[in-house]
């Protein structure tokens, strides 16, 4: 069952059990094992930091994106990713040409506040976010209007979250560290690079 989150200036849909536990378990195992996970370094305030998660990026050839000043080329689609992409496209009513994968090894892995607003995603990007493994809290905050309360969604195993329309202009999101969510989690965000 899909629900629309009641947030101003946002178009966000959530399917808590988009994948069955059996499918989710299969994808968690397969993706953990077969994806070319890497831990990138970023430069901030003149210092290098390891990102607090592992990442990988797959997509159609020629669809590069800029990341902390480096141009990244996607790896060619793994067979296990293609049926996933298809079912997510059917639900979203939108075609994707790349996927960013995040591997949160434990509760101390995280992602800070940001919007998915890189120029190569275009004006009103459709972003489909799939989660497998440990349930984690996903926070949303309004970028301009500080009177709008912060919102949280539990991204549980097998869930699909769809962000579209003006969402990225008005909202930021984060995946905070959590001592209460120690297990591993994979997140896939399907995207369309222009």
Output the known binding site for 2-oxoglutarate: 102, 104, 114, 173, 185, 189, 191
For the chain, give the number of residues: 194
The answer to whether 181 and 135 are in contact (CB under 8 A) is: yes
Residue 23: its H or E element? helix 21-34
Q: Work out how close the CB of 161 gets to ligand AKG at its nearest, in angstroms, rounded to a whole number.
A: 7
Nearer to ligand AKG, 30 or 116 (CB): 116
12 binds ligand AKG, rule: CB under 6 A:
no
Q: With CB under 6 A, what is the number of residues at the site for ligand AKG?
A: 11
Under rule CB under 6 A, residue 121 binds ligand AKG? no
CA 39 distance to own-chain centroid: 16
**Residue 148 CB, nearest distance to ligand AKG (Å)?**
19
State how far the Cα of 155 lies from the Cα of 22, in Å rounded to an integer: 17
142 contact, one of Mn ion, ligand AKG, none, CB 5-8 Å limit per kind:
none
Which residues are annotated as part of the binding site for substrate?
45-47, 65-67, 117
Q: How far is the CB of 72 from ligand AKG (least distance, A)?
A: 13
Interatomic CA distance for residues 164 and 121, integer angstroms: 11
Residues 89-108 within binding reach of ligand AKG (CB under 6 A): 100, 102
What are residue 137's DSSP bridge partners? 154
Q: Look at residues 181, 83, 175, 73 and name the one whose alpha carbon lies nearest to residue 120.
A: 73
* Six token digits for residue 122: 């275009």
**DSSP summary character for residue 75:** B
Q: Measured from the CB of residue 53, what is the shortest distance to ligand AKG in angstroms?
A: 8
Least separation in angstroms between residue 170's CB and Mn ion is 14
- Interface residue with ligand AKG among 129, 134, 159, 167 (CB under 6 A) is 129
| Cα atoms found within 13 Å of the Cα of residue 48, Cβ hemisphere only | 4
- Pinpoint the alpha helices (H) of 46-133: 81-92
Of residues 116 and 139, the one with the C-beta less far from Mn ion: 116
Binding site for ligand AKG (CB under 6 A): 100, 102, 111, 116, 129, 138, 155, 173, 175, 187, 189
């Amino acid at each position: 069952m899909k629900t629309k989150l009641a947030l101003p200036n946002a178009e966000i849909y959530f399917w808590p059990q988009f994948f069955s536990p059996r499918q989710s378990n299969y994808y968690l195992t397969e993706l953990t094992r077969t994806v070319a996970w890497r831990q990138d370094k970023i430069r901030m305030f003149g210092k290098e930091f390891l990102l607090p998660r592992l990442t990988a990026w797959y997509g159609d050839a020629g669809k590069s994106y800029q990341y902390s000043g480096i141009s990244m080329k996607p790896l060619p689609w793994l067979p296990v990713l293609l049926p996933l992409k298809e079912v997510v496209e059917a639900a979203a009513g939108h075609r994707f040409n790349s996927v960013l994968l995040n591997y949160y090894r434990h509760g101390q892995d995280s992602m800070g506040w940001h919007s998915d607003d890189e120029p190569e995603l275009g004006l009103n990007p459709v972003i489909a976010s799939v989660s497998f493994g440990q349930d984690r809290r996903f926070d949303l905050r309004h970028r301009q209007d500080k009177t709008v309360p912060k919102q949280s969604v539990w991204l549980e195993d097998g869930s699909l979250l769809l962000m579209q329309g003006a969402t990225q202009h008005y909202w930021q999101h984060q995946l905070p560290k959590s001592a209460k969510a120690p297990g591993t989690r994979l997140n896939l965000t399907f995207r369309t690079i222009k």
